[in-house]
Every structure is written in structure tokens, then in C-alpha cells.
Amino acid sequence: MNSDLCNRCGSCVGLSNGIITFENKTGKYLPKLHGELSNELADRIWHACSGKEFDFPFYRKKTFGDNINFHNYTGVYRNIYIGHSKNEQIRKNAASGGIISGILAWLLKNKKIDGAVLLRMSENQPWMNEPFIATTKEEILSAAQSKYTISSVNEILPEIEKFDGKLAYVGLPGQVQSIRKLQEINYPSVKNIKYILGPFYGNTLHFSSVKSFLKSYGEKDYTQINKLYFRYGEWPGNMRVELKSNRIIELPKFHANYLIPFHILKNSLLCTDLSNEYTDISGGDAWAPVYEERGKGFSMVISRSEKGQEILDEMIKENEISLNPIEIDEAITMHSHGYDLKKRGTFIRMKYRKWMGLENPDYGYTNKGFSFSRYLMEVMIDIMFIVLGTKPARFLVEKIPPHIIGGIFEKSRTIWKKSTHKIKREKLS
């Protein structure tokens, strides 16, 4: 399989009894085979792979049944809200409104789960993330916040299988899709998973982003990192590195976004799922001036399954979360940039790839009928990603102080967003 198709969900590693491992996690981060897989194991791994294939319509029906609200961009939804956890500690610690951590803490407190599969920064290697099973509120809170470097959560499948109790699971769309595939064949590793939650997903970055960020500040050795945060402090937060030398490096999130075009995981550009469509509940940032100006974190929350809706209804009744319903059109408009990238851009990119003879994922559906200007816009975006992803471009950007390149990036992004606003919003909802 073409490596661009691998979303690094980690299922192949988790299912392989040690025969497949990820190589070079601070580099290309690709799975490597160390021996022979039995036919049965190879078939199972192939089935679980969501990078190669995930039939959206089939799994939509399997997961949520019929008679459902559905939009091609958001996936299945019961209700869409803007809100936040009412627990100030959870909200302050979290990526946006603390909805995901808040729900997990509530599920645990009410004994609806005994643990949660989450992603935290490693204690031994604080520059790397690692999946684990949280069994206390403190552990749930320790995993809050978004980690923007590659995460392979499903490596933990053997531990999930051994866990004695009910679990919630949090993952990115490719990881969730793989879990849904395993649930469909009643695979034992996933039988404990009762609830699936997940963040929205624009993209992830290679670890080279962290190395490059450090180099720009004159620090060459990433093993000197003591703590790494991607969204530290007041929403939307800062990228922050604390070094063993006590030096602290911090850059506002919107400026640190300059790293995206230089270090993006190519698979992010082949993913068509922005809002984590196969979760029971998913959460993203509430990107709108009215919320951004208030400073504190606000999330967009989508309830999709009956049990997901029940959780939110009970939490509202118990005054644990604040949620205001919004209409689907408002939700799509708020994330028009992301939906355009995923639901239009990806299909155009896949068309270009097909012309070049490159393999594409099979999602069981396609979107088409875009304007000529949208195709042209995609050419510009793709050229930018290709050029900025090269070694010389990465080398050069490290010579510019991040607060300068970050500022330039943010301004250019605003100009680009304004000038492409009409093309992106055309017939969006």
C-alpha cells in the first residue's frame, strides 16, 4: 500500500502480536513487518485498516441505523451545540471547552465506564505522545488537550482486550473508523468499548515540526524537552516547550500554525472526515468571532448516537455542561474552511492523484461538481504543500524567528481565507 494512505491509526501494530511495529517515530513513523503473518492475521489486519478503505455509507447504517439526520459534510447528527464544561478546572485545562474530558470524568463518576482509552504525553519521553487507559479523574485530566503530532492510539488494542471493565475510547477519525470496522466483525479487543468520542480533525504533523520549532530557537536536541504542550493556557492556547535547562519557549497557537504546511502528514490531505463522523459524540473548536473574543474555550459538540445524546441530556440536567443548540447551516459555516478542505479538496486531490497513477483510499462515496475556480484553488494549495514540504524550504524557515514567520503566516492565512471566502462558501450548506 502507498505510504500516503497510512493514517498511523496503529491497528496493524496492535493486532499483529508484535510482528508489526512502528519504526522511527520521530521520523517517517511507518509500520514495519518483522516476520511472517498468518493468513488469518493478515486478513484481520487488512480488514481493520481504515487508511486503505472505509465504506462511509455502509458503516453509517451499521453504526447509527436508519431514520437519522444526515449531512454529507457533518455526517450523522442528532443535535449540534456550542458549549463548554461547567467545571472551570476541566475547561481551563482542555483544548477548547473541555467537553471531551468533562464527559469522560462524568462517565467515570457515574460508573458508566471503568476506564478510558486516551492519549497523553509520555513521562519517560515527554516529547512523544502515548495511548493509555485512564482509570481515575486525575488521569483523564492529564490527557486533556490536543496533541498535534502523529498519534497511533490503536497500538493499545492488546491492553484494551485485557481490560476488565467498560471503556470509553477517544480517537481521531481514522482511529475511530478502524475501531468501527473491528466492532463490525465482533473482534474481542473492542468488545469493552461502550462509548466512542473524538475531536474534529484538520491535520496532524510529523515530529519534524517539533524538531524544527526548537531549531528555530537555537535548540538542537529535542531530548532536552521536559514538557511539550500544543495548546497551553487560555484558549486557543500556545505551543509551549519547557526544557530541562528551565528555558521556556512559547508561541501563540495561531502563529505556531506556520508549521502545518512544512510538516503536515500527507494522509491528513486524503482524509474526508473533519468532524469525526463515526463517534457517539465529537467535539471541535467553536471558530467564530463571538466565541473567540470571549477568550475562554468554547467547543462545537455533535451528538450522533442515541447513547451519545443520552449522556449530553443527563449532563445538562445535572448542570455539568452548558450547551446551546445551533442549526446545521451555522455549524457548517463556522467550519467552512475545514469542510471545504476535507469534503471538496480531498476529492479533487484524489482526482489529481488518479491522473498521476497514484493509489487512493476507497470511501464508498464521492463528492463532485465543483467550480473551475475551486479546482484552480486546489492546484495552488497543493503546489504550496509540495514546495513547503521540501527539505530546502524547511531548512530556510528555521532561519526565520518563529514570531515573525508565525505573524506572516497568520496574516497570509487571513488574506487567503478572505479572498477564497466566496469559492469556499459557494453551495456549502
The residues binding ligand FAD (CB under 6 A) are: 94-101, 118-119, 143-148, 151, 153, 170-172, 199-202, 204, 283-285, 297, 299, 338
Minimum Å gap between C-beta 318 and ligand FAD is: 18
Name the residue nearer to ligand FAD (CB basis): 19 or 332: 332
Name the residue nearer to ligand FAD (CB basis): 76 or 205: 205
Output phi, psi for 27, to 5 deg: -120, -120
- Here the cell at position 273 is 472526515
Of 49, 158, 176, the C-alpha closest to 100 is: 176
Name the residue nearer to ligand FAD (CB basis): 132 or 347: 132
Name the residue nearer to ligand FAD (CB basis): 202 or 406: 202
Minimum Å gap between C-beta 14 and ligand FAD is: 14
Name the residue nearer to ligand FAD (CB basis): 339 or 363: 339
Name the residue nearer to ligand FAD (CB basis): 178 or 299: 299
DSSP string, 251-293: EEHHHHGGGHHHHB-GGGGG---SS-TTSSEEEEE--SHHHHT
Stretch (H or E) spanning 95: none
Q: What is the DSSP letter of 53?
A: B
Minimum Å gap between C-beta 8 and ligand FAD is: 10
DSSP string, 370-422: --HHHHHHHHHHHHHHHHHTSHHHHHHHTTS-HHHHHHHHHHHHHHHHHHHHH
Minimum Å gap between C-beta 7 and ligand FAD is: 11
Minimum Å gap between C-beta 226 and ligand FAD is: 20
Of 127, 107, 125, 124, the C-alpha closest to 116 is: 107
Of 253, 250, 301, the C-alpha closest to 74 is: 301
Minimum Å gap between C-beta 287 and ligand FAD is: 6
Minimum Å gap between C-beta 251 and ligand FAD is: 16
The sign one gets for the Cα dihedral 162, 166, 171, 176 is positive
Of 221, 270, 223, the C-alpha closest to 126 is: 223
Name the residue nearer to ligand FAD (CB basis): 101 or 209: 101
Task: Give Cβ neighbours of residue 147 (< 8 Å, ≥ 6 apart).
Answer: 119, 121, 129, 230
Name the residue nearer to ligand FAD (CB basis): 63 or 96: 96
Of 79, 74, 85, the C-alpha closest to 298 is: 85
In the bound state, the residue with its beta carbon closest to ligand FAD is 202
SS3 199: strand
How far out from the chain centre does Cα 24 lie? 21
Minimum Å gap between C-beta 392 and ligand FAD is: 27
Task: Give Cβ neighbours of residue 270 (< 8 Å, ≥ 6 apart).
Answer: 4, 5, 346, 349, 350, 360, 361
Name the residue nearer to ligand FAD (CB basis): 37 or 156: 156
DSSP string, 321-377: EEEEEE-HHHHHHHTHHHHIIIIIIHHHHHHHHHHTT----B-S-------HHHHHH
Name the residue nearer to ligand FAD (CB basis): 284 or 361: 284
Output phi, psi for 81, to 5 deg: -135, 165
Minimum Å gap between C-beta 331 and ligand FAD is: 11
Radius of gyration of the chain (CA): 21
Minimum Å gap between C-beta 202 and ligand FAD is: 2
